[in-house]
């Protein structure tokens, strides 16, 4: 059932989308945050990564190219890129402006209190 929606088997989905293209999404999120790009840039980049993951599943593992799995790939990769973007941005803000901000958990910062 779920393999029909994904277009590939679970193993291929985990290996190709989560591991291989997930690493690319992680690096994309970090690169966007390191260069102070706005978050919305992650959306078209992740769409291209999802299309690439769908094509790899089709070309190498005889998956269905036109399956709805592209949307699932997109959501998973966007989640990975978003987490990487936010964590990197928080790290950058706290380290670059230590006199202004302090870390407030993994995903946030707050103004430093005197």
Q: How many Å from the N-terminal Cα to the C-terminal Cα in the chain?
A: 58
Is the pTM for the entire model greater than 0.85?
A: yes
pLDDT tens, 1-48? 777 888 888 888 999 999 999 999 999 999 999 999 999 999 999 999
Q: What would the pLDDT profile of 39-93 be if each residue is shown by its tens digit? A: 999 999 999 999 999 999 999 988 888 878 889 999 999 999 999 999 999 999 9
> What's the confidence (pLDDT) of residue 94?
95
The dihedral formed by the CA atoms of 17, 18, 20 and 26, expressed in degrees to the nearest 10: 120
pLDDT at 3: 79
Say what the pLDDT of residue 6 is. 80
């Amino acid at each position: 059932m779920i393999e029909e929606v994904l277009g590939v088997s679970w193993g291929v989905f985990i290996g190709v989308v989560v591991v291989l293209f997930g690493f690319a999404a992680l690096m994309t999120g970090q690169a966007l945050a390191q260069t102070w790009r706005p978050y919305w840039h992650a959306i078209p980049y992740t769409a291209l990564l999802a299309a690439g993951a769908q094509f790899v599943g089709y070309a190498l593992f005889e998956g269905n190219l036109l399956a709805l799995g592209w949307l699932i790939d997109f959501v998973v990769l966007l989640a990975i890129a978003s987490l990487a973007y936010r964590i990197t941005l928080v790290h950058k803000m706290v380290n670059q402006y230590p006199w202004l901000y302090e870390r407030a958990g993994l995903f946030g910062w707050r103004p430093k209190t005197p």
